[in-house]
Structure 1
């Protein structure tokens, strides 16, 4: 099968990370990139010699079979609409939009038109998540009884996100609930079912800065879920966990990539092939590209996060942030 041509609009943290870790790829080739920042040309030439920096987003859409939208959230839907109108497949970063009503309208029209579109929730291709699912299928958890999600950050944005701090640090588009908690809500939706918010509280600093603390109670497929997050309570960059307890046992995802089981002696033990996130990331992003190639070829069950799943996650996130 011929490689699909991927275009990228937005060569910040996520666009650069994808190019650096997922390529070369047997099913996807890079057709072109556009970003308005002048420094992009040098970074692109270093990471992907020969991949053109094109004149604008329209030129990228013209050159590609599938468009990866890695621009800030306000640009997601306009770029996706333009690409879909041109007959391209689309992979969007989350959140879908800065306006929930606009996001819902976009999802409805995309579904009605049979759009080839997905959202980049990398847990859809995570070997650690696949291990959790395998343990559940083998009966390691049994009937789920509770889920606890925790995300903590030494500072926000994290150090490696400094280049995007202009919007990541602000309440309008940024914050760790949108950027990080959404991944764990997607995982929860995939593992347990539809999510509903029961109650939530949010702590904001002064001005227009993003949240520094959240507490929430939810239900997912009828299972009670406790969610918490903080900025400034830990010394390290970040720590996170997703802990599912059931009548037969407990499993967890720790720090993005460690699938672990609670053993009879009370110790958490990782899967034998567990890897730190930095080592697992190339596998995950290559898997995302494989799924995007399948979607571009017409496989609507490719396994990528769907627009509907992303909208449901965003609705919960925004409901928490309004609390």
Structure 2
């Protein structure tokens, strides 16, 4: 039987996962209900999935599904996930776990103690490009250093302007939480536990999100540098995760391009590399397969609550908030 999927929060991420679920094998996972308080969200749902109900409360969605995707703003994540756990449902949360770090710590401890079925949507857990990096690691030698860089023409990015009400604010938004967290998760998976050594963050007057960050960390003992800023590129965004080893270098560029440093000093992509807009459906398909496995109590390697909490702790420390 297919796992039934409910979605709370029908913004950009909720719509993106719903479209992936509609395109997925309906014998594996099947969307059944959505909730969002916005009339505009209801109108979009009617266009994207005619016949799929927009229910009148999160509780109604939880009652209708076996797995709940929590794609609402961060301040509401824990309430929705906690309600799902109380009803015996699995929960798949967007990051960050919460707007309050202490609440996130308490939530993770309680969820672990109860054996709740939970995971966090860090898509690099299902990325073919990340799998390619892993295959190349064998020939890289001992890791020596890692660099993470992200630049944005504006923040929020052009396609996120509809959520600027919270993404542009210091309390819940900013590119460190939204973007750099993905690369810190990848670093944790590839190298080991993260330890922050130095940090600096620049904020505009008022309550706006950061405009620049710099940090030095250790990951499993390997030196890591992190740089992010708004400005410096005319593209919507540019990012790079580069690992240098004793016998070479590899990198992930612009989310989905796995590249290896060749003998002539140039980085070249894997033969099957795809731009992010073409790889994203493959990644989300993998995430949905794993969410179905999580719901059934089967092995899978989605990001755990503990991993997401470790990343959030480093992110908040970098921001210094």
Q: TM-score range by the shorter chain?
A: over 0.9
Please say if residues 11 and 34 of structure 1, whose CA atoms lie closer than 8 Å, have aligned partners that are also in contact: yes
Distance 2:187 2:22 in 1: 29
Moved over 6 A (4+): none
Distance 1:291 1:303 in 2: 7
Aligned to 2:258: 259
Distance 1:317 1:282 in 2: 27
Show CA shifts across 1:257-281 (max 9, x none). 0000000111111001000000000
Distance 1:279 1:123 in 2: 15
Aligned to 2:313: 315
Show CA shifts across 1:41-68 (max 9, x none). 2211211122111111000000000000
Aligned to 2:53, what secondary structure does the other structure show? coil
Distance 1:236 1:24 in 2: 30
Aligned to 2:112: 111
Give the paired residue count.
319
- Indicate yes or no: 2:129 matched with 1:128: yes
Q: What is the alpha-carbon root mean square deviation over aligned residues?
A: 0.8
Aligned to 2:285: 286
Residue 21 of structure 1, CA deviation: 3.2
Please say if residues 21 and 281 of structure 1, whose CA atoms lie closer than 8 Å, have aligned partners that are also in contact: no
Distance 2:161 2:202 in 1: 22
Distance 2:103 2:309 in 1: 11
Distance 1:76 1:205 in 2: 27
Alignment of 1:1-323 (within 5 A): 2-26=1-25, 27-136=28-137, 139-299=138-298, 301-322=299-320
Please say if residues 151 and 233 of structure 2, whose CA atoms lie closer than 8 Å, have aligned partners that are also in contact: yes
Distance 1:302 1:101 in 2: 28
Question: After alignment, is 21-30 or 94-103 more displaced?
Answer: 21-30
Residue 140 of structure 1, CA deviation: 2.2
Residue 13 of structure 1, CA deviation: 0.6
